[in-house]
A and B are shown apart, each in its own frame.
Chain A
Amino acid sequence: MSDFWKRFSRNRGAVIGIVILAVVVLVAILAPMLFPQSPWRMVQRPFLPPLSMNQYLLGTDALGRDVLTGLAYGAQVSLLVGIVSTVAALLVGIPIGALAGYFGGAADDVLMRFTEFFQTVPSFALAIVLVAIFEPNIQSIIAAIAVVSWPPVARLVRGEVLSLRSREYIEAAILSGQTSAAIIWRQVLPNTLSPIIVLASLMVATAILLESSLSFLGLGDPNMMSWGYMIGAARTVIRQAWWLSFFPGVAILLTVLALNLIGEGLNDALNPRLARRGK
């Protein structure tokens, strides 16, 4: 474990990523304390430019709402959607991939055709259709993102399990009379953990991008202030008020960048390829 931290912290990008993400998480948690005002409330005149009033550092939007407050509450939505939808996608993808990879044959065929179908379908379009038909709210957004993002998990886990399945120590476990459930749980899955962790961190990033894109198109939860919604609402006034779309975009960019950097750092630190050589 200390070995892992040593390798992880040697990656400068990963450390930067951790710092940025820590700030975002902190802001999301402390938002109600830092900005007790509702992000929807009109606090000043509309189109107040940034840095013109100390109290409203990043200015106000077309309805006179504080941009900084919106950003803080938007962090909550982004992280919530990113994490919950990733967990949901893992809960669907890992069992499907593990079963397909471990049992092979017909089970593999059926499960992989199913996965392939979801991978072929244009994912963003499917997410749009799902959210639109089931009415935009936080549940339907999370569900739609999970539906379009589990296939890579299933494929990754299947591939890993498939390669582990023919590994001699799994065969030894079969010969020693352990049950399939015990083998999957104790021998196979722990050894697929590293690539799953790496993928999961990248999936949170992708989910945040997806959520912001949906909100940008007006498919956000109407009761929750999100970064994508802020940009979408500011789209038509971009000529008058550039800051309204600029700052939320930077917030998304930094958060997603941080998660990607962390993912790469994890990948290097857990380096599945080196670990596999057994050294």
Chain B
Amino acid sequence: MLRFILMRLVKAAIILIAILTLNFFLIHAAPGDPAAVLAGEAGAADAQFIEQLRERFGLDKPLLTQLGIYLGGVLQLDLGYSYRQQMPVADLIFARLPATLLLTLTAFVIALVLGTLAGVLASARVGKWSDTVISTLALLFYATPLFWVALMAVLVFSVFLNWLPGFGYETVGANYTGFRRALDIAQHLILPATTLGLFFMAVYMRMTRASMLEVSQLDFVKTARAKGLKPGIIQRRHIFRNAMLPVVTLAGLQAGQLVGGAVLTETVFAWPGIGRLMFEALAQRDYNLLLGIFFVSAAMVLLFNLITDILYRVVDPRIRVAS
């Protein structure tokens, strides 16, 4: 297991270096002066700052040397400096990271739990009205633009019904502490996390339903019935566990989209995470910050993939024992 994790870490490191290289070439491929790109919003930065950048990144040296300098910087957790925000990019990102982690993980848990539950339910009642309702809802959620459903949620639950806050991370100026603060944040979390989870809920529901139906046709389910086991036990012990394998794989692959979705949700709900930061960077054409966020979100996805891979090995003895 340890060796497996080590191997995956090496692989992740290679991918991260590849992403940085991609970033580097994007800076150079962009129209205009790379120094201006690094400074953000061509022309807004003063000449002195641009000159500093030129020197620091060796922009007059050969391309490969520049790449080396760039990679070396990142190794020391230096993602550059945001001229617009007057702060190092890394500091900006790390300040916003917890909010995004809270949002995406909550959304993920909601989506996975509700999605698989709904999928199991639909597969058990296949063809009946409850299956039709669940499947239709899933089809709708699957087709709904995330940013739009977020806006509609604000409109309905926040503006019309006034049940839940539709804006921000906590009540501004309330200065709650301790449990009261946690509750406040939780209230603010409900709408963004649910809307972000909706699409993924639909994905997991459809996958679970299909997978349950497929597994229930397999021979070992017949064996279990031939033993005289009750349908409930067969469903849980034999069908569900096997059906979850492809769902876990899918959940790992979907991690990247979850981070992408956070950009839209955080923008709508003014959630102070890196997604919102990305939107701000976009508005200000702060390319260096943009690339930094892109890099960090890729690192998050890699971490997430690693976790699902480990989970997969825990669930499936064929992979666990074989190595």
Contact = CB atoms under 8 A, between A and B. Distances in A.
Contacts of A205: 143
Given A117-B15, A253-B143, A257-B140, A123 B257 contact: yes
A232 B261 CA distance: 15
Interface string A227-270: 01001100100110010011011001100110011000000000
Given A249-B152, A257-B139, A129 B257 contact: no
A134 interface: yes
B58 interface: no
Nearest to B19: A121
A253 B151 contact: no
A257 B148 CA distance: 15
B15 A120 contact: yes
A135 B31 contact: yes
Given A120-B305, A249-B145, A216 B264 contact: yes
B285 A132 contact: yes
A129 B291 contact: yes
B235 interface: no
Interface string B243-261: 0000000000100110111
B294 interface: yes
A248 B151 CA distance: 12
Contacts of B285: 132
Nearest to B281: A132
Contacts of B155: 238, 242
Interface in B282-306: 282-283, 285, 287, 290-291, 293-294, 297-298, 301-302, 305
B279 A213 contact: no
B159 A238 contact: yes
Contact of A120 (B152, B283, B302): B302
B294 A126 contact: yes
A9 to B, nearest CB: 19
A111 to B, nearest CB: 15
A19 to B, nearest CB: 15
A265 B134 CA distance: 18
Nearest to B299: A122
Most B CB contacts (10 A, CB to CB) among A122, A123, A231 go to A122
Nearest to B142: A260
Contact of A253 (B27, B144, B154): B144
Contact of B287 (A124, A132, A212): A132
Contact of B18 (A117, A122, A246): A117
A219 interface: yes
A135 to B, nearest CB: 7
Contacts of A256: 143-145
B148 A120 contact: no
Interface residues of B, number: 49
Most B CB contacts (10 A, CB to CB) among A121, A205, A218, A248 go to A121
Contacts of A129: 26, 290-291, 294
Contacts of A228: 145, 147
Nearest to A252: B145
B15 to A, nearest CB: 6
Contact of B148 (A128, A133, A219, A245): A245
A253 B151 CA distance: 14
B268 A235 contact: yes
A158 B43 CA distance: 47
A218 B272 CA distance: 19
A261 B298 contact: no
Contacts of A25: none
Contacts of A242: 155
Interface string B109-147: 000000000000000000000000000000110111111
Contacts of B283: 218
Given A128-B278, A231-B147, A249-B152, A122 B301 contact: yes
Contact of A260 (B37, B139, B264, B287): B139
B267 interface: yes
A133 B287 contact: yes
A125 interface: yes
A125 B294 contact: yes
A209 interface: yes
A119 interface: yes
B29 interface: yes
Contacts of A130: 26
A43 interface: no
B30 interface: yes
B139 A261 contact: yes
Nearest to B278: A128
Nearest to A133: B30
Contacts of B261: 124
Nearest to A131: B282
B31 A134 contact: yes
Interface of B: 15, 18-19, 26-27, 29-31, 37, 139-140, 142-149, 151-152, 154-155, 159, 253, 256-257, 259-261, 263-264, 267-268, 278-279, 282-283, 285, 287, 290-291, 293-294, 297-298, 301-302, 305
14 contacts: A13-B139, A121-B298, A121-B301, A122-B301, A125-B260, A128-B282, A134-B29, A213-B145, A219-B282, A238-B151, A238-B155, A249-B145, A253-B148, A256-B145
